Amino acid sequence: MTNQTMFTETIIEINKLRTQFGTTVIHENLSLRVQRGEIIALIGDSGVGKSTLLREIIVLEKPAAGSIKVFGIEVLNLSDKQTLWLRRHCGMMFQQGALFNSLTVGENVAVPLYEHTQLSERLIKEIVAFKIALVGLPASAKKKYPAQLSGGMIKRAAVARALALDPNILFLDEPTAGLDPIGAGAFDELILRLTESLGLTVVIVTHDLDLLWKVTNRVAVLADKQVFVVAPICELIQLDHPWLQNYFQGPRGRAARFNKITNCPERNEEGNRGMEIGNGK
Ligand SMILES: Nc1ncnc2c1ncn2[C@@H]1O[C@H](COP(=O)(O)OP(=O)(O)O)[C@@H](O)[C@H]1O
Ligand SMILES: [Mg+2]
């Protein structure tokens, strides 16, 4: 059995989505399914609409048409109360503004707990300390301000905040952008450890090939306003498609070829099971 065959329950289902800002169409007829428990990456050119798609899933942006179901529930017509409920179960690490600069790390992690729960001050403090330890930060980080931390520590603190409410789904928007290779490498391990121990489903927007190779079960490719293929990366790099060939050329291609040699299992009778070509279905 391949890993992929373990993921049989759809947790996010996007159908025929259209997103439009003014007269500019960002997504057209975009469909994608995310399975519970998987780590799926979204890749695509800058400006193709990856961050917007994440924001639409947690109802921070409204598409023009189509359907987005999360946990089987249509999210496009939720009441304010239902939207809060949805966000409680979806942790988000944003591409920009990972943390509030004027708050300490501990205060940052506590923000969702104050916003969404009635828990006592004491319990919130305990949860904050636990989340900070969970992401591998020292307890001393709690009292520090973002400006006093390294890039890697800020990203970890942002993950701690995204995990504050024990979400079922974790969204990470370019989590390793700007990190040095060692910091980015440690981040791979953090994501794997968290996914395994917390039973999370993870959706990552990334250009980081190491992350794509080391942590993802599948990769969804956004181009021309749609998800045109979803496949494990070992299968993706073998596809004869101009965008993919271009994407994996140069340094990316070299890394991909290297990883292919070292990481890709030989194809067997289950070879193509994780692949879905054509509009993310
Ligand atoms: N709120 C908005 N209003 C107008 N245009 C937007 C808005 N949000 C995003 N865009 C535009 O939509 C496109 C997709 O943006 P984004 O989702 O951030 O791309 P990506 O994350 O793939 O780089 C970009 O051209 C961006 O300028
Ligand atoms: Mg983005």
* Ligand 1 midpoint to CA 188 (Å): 27
Residue with tokens 């980080």: 141
CA distance 89 to 110: 16
Query: Is ligand 1 within 6 A of the CB of residue 45?
Result: no
Give 225's Cβ-side CA count (13 Å radius). Answer: 12
Phi, psi (rounded to 5 degrees) for 165: -100, 20
Pick the residue whose CA is nearest to atom 24 on ligand 1.
47
| Strand bridging mode 201-205 / 169-173 | parallel
Cβ atoms of 87 and 58 closer than 8 Å: yes
* Ligand 2 midpoint to CA 45 (Å): 9
Residue 190, CA distances (Å) to 31, 145, 171 in order: 29, 22, 14
pLDDT given at position 261: 55
48 alpha carbon, closest ligand:
1
What would the two tokens of residue 171 be? 């969204």
Query: Is ligand 1 within 6 A of the CB of residue 21?
Result: yes
Query: Is ligand 1 within 6 A of the CB of residue 168?
Result: no
How buried is residue 199: exposed, middle or buried, by Cβ count under 10 Å (0-12/13-18/19+)? Answer: exposed
* Ligand 2 midpoint to CA 51 (Å): 4
pLDDT given at position 41: 97
Question: What are the CB-based long-range contacts (under 8 Å, 24+) for 223-226?
Answer: 223/44, 223/45, 223/48, 225/25, 225/26, 225/27, 225/28, 225/29, 225/30, 225/48, 225/49, 226/27, 226/28, 226/29, 226/30, 226/31, 226/279, 226/280
- In the chain (281 residues long), the average pLDDT of successive 10-residue segments reads 68 98 97 97 96 96 97 94 94 83 97 94 97 95 95 92 96 89 84 92 92 93 95 89 80 58 54 55 45
Pick the residue whose CA is nearest to atom 6 on ligand 1.
21
CA distance 192 to 210: 13
What would the two tokens of residue 150 be? 């390294």
Q: Which atom of ligand 1 is nearest to the CA of 95?
A: 21
CATH number of 3-89+167-277, picked from 3.30.1300.10, 3.40.50.300, 3.30.565.10, 3.50.50.60: 3.40.50.300
CA distance 117 to 188: 30
Residue 188, CA distances (Å) to 126, 182, 184, 200, 209 in order: 26, 10, 7, 15, 11
Q: Which atom of ligand 1 is nearest to the CA of 222?
A: 22
pLDDT given at position 130: 96
Query: Is ligand 1 within 6 A of the CB of residue 26?
Result: yes
Query: Is ligand 1 within 6 A of the CB of residue 100?
Result: no
The DSSP symbol for 264 reads P
45 alpha carbon, closest ligand:
1
Query: Is ligand 1 within 6 A of the CB of residue 94?
Result: no
Q: Which atom of ligand 1 is nearest to the CA of 49?
A: 17
Q: Which atom of ligand 1 is nearest to the CA of 55?
A: 17
Burial code (b: 16+ CB inside 10 Å, e: under 16) for 211-220 equals: bbbbbbbbbb
